[in-house]
Chains A and B, each alone.
Chain A
Amino acid sequence: MSVLVGYNTRLVVQGMSGSAGAFHSRQMIEYGTNVVAGVTPGKGGAKVEGLEKIPMFDTVAESVQHAGANTTVIYVPPPFAADSILEAAAAGIQVIIAITEGIPARDMIKVKYVLDHDYPGVVLVGPNCPGVITPGQCKVGIMPGYIHKPGGVGVVSRSGTLTYEVVGQLTKLGLGQSTAVGIGGDPVKGTDFIDALKWFAEDPGTSSIFMIGEIGGDSEERAAAFIKENVKKPVAAFIGGQTAPPGKRMGHAGAIISGGKGGAADKIAALQEAGVAVSPTPAEMGSTLAKRLAS
């Protein structure tokens, strides 16, 4: 079992003809992902080097109609990425995974508003995230596939490279993963911790959860409250940025709006309060979960 992506995923790659899109399409296919189409406006019918067997379309709607796409991954440059997300939703795609880094907040506020109101069933993961992988079945995104191993740990993370770090540690300890979801670090995003925690809590293939948060915002605090009430499976976590110098990025208003939340100490305290095992360093994430499972 898994969440979001798996054997049933039929993937369209938006921006497949770009260099990142082409490179990662080849990597995804090599991993075993069922890539059924590529989309780049104006490139319908063209061939992309190394991906000659994958049909290219001008629109996402055509990839749904002619290739049966049900999931999309977006590598489109920031100025056009919001448009690409909305195009996918309008075409009937149910799972949208946006890798693109650097989409203006103004664009994402509108995208989120439209998705929430016009396409309530559609799941957006990202933007600015590594993607989603169900080890052994399907890799959608930019993560290195080989570090993963099928198993029962659900991973959810705000940070891309830290996700690889925890997965690498878990695999070395023999703890495989059900699905790893990178939700991305942007202020306005689709899937948040609580969504992923809910999926993992309900997924019979997931037996424990690792969560990676970061300083800033209050979604870790809200996730902690959710875990306390709703998650019976063992959870371990790590919060990045514990020693980051305060005030380098946030002005007054950032601290005021979140009611003084956002610091690492508050997040760690909230998670521990909820019964979550918190790893003291980024090098002990895997062993922290292993200890929690053994206790």
Chain B
Amino acid sequence: MKIHEYQGKELLRKYGVPVPIGIAATSAAEAKAAIPKVQEQGATEVVVVKAQIHAGGRGKGGGVKVAKTKADAEAAVDKIFGMTLVTPQTGPEGKKVQRILVEQGLAIDHEFYLGILLDRATARVTVMASREGGMDIEEVAATHPEKIFKHAINPATGWQGWQSRALAKQLELSGKAASELNKFLVSLTKCYEDMDCSMLEINPLVTTKDGRVLALDAKVSFDDNAMFRHPELESWRDPNEEDAAEQEAKKWDLSYISLDGNIGCMVNGAGLAMSTMDIIKYYGGAPANFLDVGGGATAEKVTAAFKIITTDPDVKAIFVNIFGGIMKCDTIAQGVVTAVKETGLKVPLVVRLEGTNVDLGKKILAESGLAIVTAADMADGAKLVVAAAGGQVK
């Protein structure tokens, strides 16, 4: 689960991680009212107006403006609030800005990159930092990997002071800034651990002319598997950031991602679901979605999944591809039959069943009297569904 920058900063503040003074707003009027308050509390005329969307690259897309006066700041709010912000991470359709953060401007000395996340290769949470902070960190990683310093956290000890000292040397920080960095990292790594984060990215981390170390940005996401430990985080979910079908899927604990094609897919298992997309493309079709119904789905869940697919107006044909293990084929068949009876079937449906209780599943489909095309195997099913969607089978 992802949250907004202002929510991330609220969390960091709670853990004692220094962040600039700022006020979040959900309307232009509210944002404008926040400007003088931030100016007063921050003891500076300069404020930064920042669009709050989940995608990165906001600065490049014109979603972040530094304003030297109140009038400039108000103009920035008018420009940013309600705009459709297009960044490399939003896709070409962009994202409408409905929340704004007004923040104190700072006299920045240097911008660094700092990220904390799990390194799969070592199974350790790892702190990464670089002197080359700011917008082009991905390019730095690709062209100058030696400029990114990594320190793994030992699960038995947590982050240690010596690691902060080593990192401070690498980042060429000394004196007050080095000790501030240590405090910053002790708090930040504790936040990562306590809150079951899956990523905590501070880009940029800044030092100020007066020797302070602050998080100028905060990109925070949480481990979805650990949400049972943090029920309070649910209130931070922003429905505007989530696709309607994806939200409906989440209610049913289904893994669903909207795509651009016209073949609806319902598959069990992420690997098979991804490969089903691969084979549809291989035979010249285009999947409308990625949908993994998971291992232990009930007939109700399958019905819900099926309805989500049929609600998509772009779907011209549906491919159900199941290899049952924990998921039983009769459960899938029952769910599909129920859904079709409730919603009607307006597009061709190709079903490929294999695995646990396959004969029972096939029997349920056959006895339903529904116009279902049965596929012999995955390739057969993919070819049938590409043709059914009106495509040319390659």
B347 on interface, CB distance cutoff 8 Å: no
Considering only CB atoms, which chain A residue lies closest to B354 in the complex? A168
Instruction: State which size class the interface on A falls in.
Output: 35 or more
Query: Which residues of B249-291 are within 8 A (CB) of A?
Result: 257, 259, 267-272, 274-279, 281-282, 290
Q: Which of B174-208 contact A (CB under 8 A)?
A: 193, 196, 198-199, 201, 203
B226 contacts A106, C-beta separation under 8 Å: yes
| A240 to B277 Cα, complex, angstroms | 9
Q: Are A243 and B295 in contact (CB under 8 A)?
A: no
Interchain CB contact under 8 A, A187 and B325: no
Nearest chain B CB to A15's CB is how many angstroms away?
13
User: Is B121 in contact with A258, judged by CB distance below 8 angstroms?
Assistant: yes
Contact A142 B377 (CB under 8 A): no
Chain B contacts of A203 at CB under 8 A? none
Residues of chain B with a CB closer than 8 A to A160's CB: 269, 271-272, 295, 325
| B271 close to A161 (CB less than 8 A) | yes
A109 and B137 within 8 A (CB): no
Contact of A252 among B138, B295, B356, B379 (CB under 8 A): B138
**Min C-beta distance of A82 to chain B, whole Å:** 11
Q: Are B56 and A161 in contact (CB under 8 A)?
A: no
Q: Is B141 an interface residue (CB 8 A)?
A: yes
Residues of chain A within 8 A (CB-CB) of B223 are 104-106
Q: Is A29 an interface residue (CB 8 A)?
A: no
Tell whether, in the assembled complex, residue B155 and residue A259 are in contact, meaning their CB atoms are under 8 Å apart.
no
Q: List A contacts of B267 (CB < 8 A).
A: 161
Query: Taking the complex as formed, is A103 at the interface, i.e. its CB lies under 8 A from any CB of chain B?
Result: yes
Say if the beta carbon of A162 comes within 8 Å of chain B.
yes
- Main SS of chain B's interface residues? mixed
Interface positions of A from 126 to 165, Cβ below 8 Å from B = 130, 142-144, 147, 157-162, 164-165
Q: Are B323 and A164 in contact (CB under 8 A)?
A: yes
Number of interface residues of B (CB under 8 A): 66
Q: Are A243 and B119 in contact (CB under 8 A)?
A: no
Which residues of chain B have C-beta atoms less than 8 A from A247's C-beta? 89
| B105 CB–A CB distance under 8 Å | no
Bound CA span A143–B274, Å: 19
Q: In the complex, are the beta carbons of B377 and A256 less than 8 A apart?
A: no
| A-contacting residues, B110-141, CB 8 Å | 115, 117-121, 123-126, 128, 137-138, 141
Q: How far is the CA of A157 from the CA of B356 in the complex (A)?
A: 19
A188: chain B residues at CB < 8 Å are 118, 120, 123
Contact (Cβ within 8 A) A256 B141 = yes
Q: How far apart sit A113 and B228, CA to CA, in the bound complex (Å)?
A: 23
- Asked if A36 CB lies within 8 Å of chain B CBs, one says no
Query: Is the beta-carbon distance between A240 and B120 smaller than 8 angstroms?
Result: no
Which residue of A103, A105, A168, A248 has the most chain B CB atoms within 10 A of its CB atom? A105
Pair B199/A215 contact, Cβ less than 8 Å: no
Indicate whether A215 sits within 8 Å of B274 (C-beta atoms), given known contacts A142-B295, A160-B269, A188-B118.
yes
Query: In this assembly, does A24 line the interface, its C-beta being within 8 Å of a C-beta of chain B?
Result: yes
| 22 CB-based A-B contacts, threshold 8 Å | A20-B296, A20-B326, A101-B294, A104-B225, A105-B198, A105-B226, A109-B123, A113-B123, A159-B270, A161-B268, A161-B325, A164-B323, A185-B270, A214-B274, A215-B274, A217-B120, A240-B274, A241-B278, A247-B89, A252-B138, A253-B199, A283-B377
**Additional 17 contacts, C-beta under 8 A, given A159-B270, A160-B271, A256-B148:** A79-B228, A99-B326, A109-B118, A130-B325, A159-B275, A161-B267, A161-B325, A162-B271, A214-B274, A222-B121, A240-B271, A241-B275, A243-B281, A252-B201, A252-B203, A254-B199, A284-B379
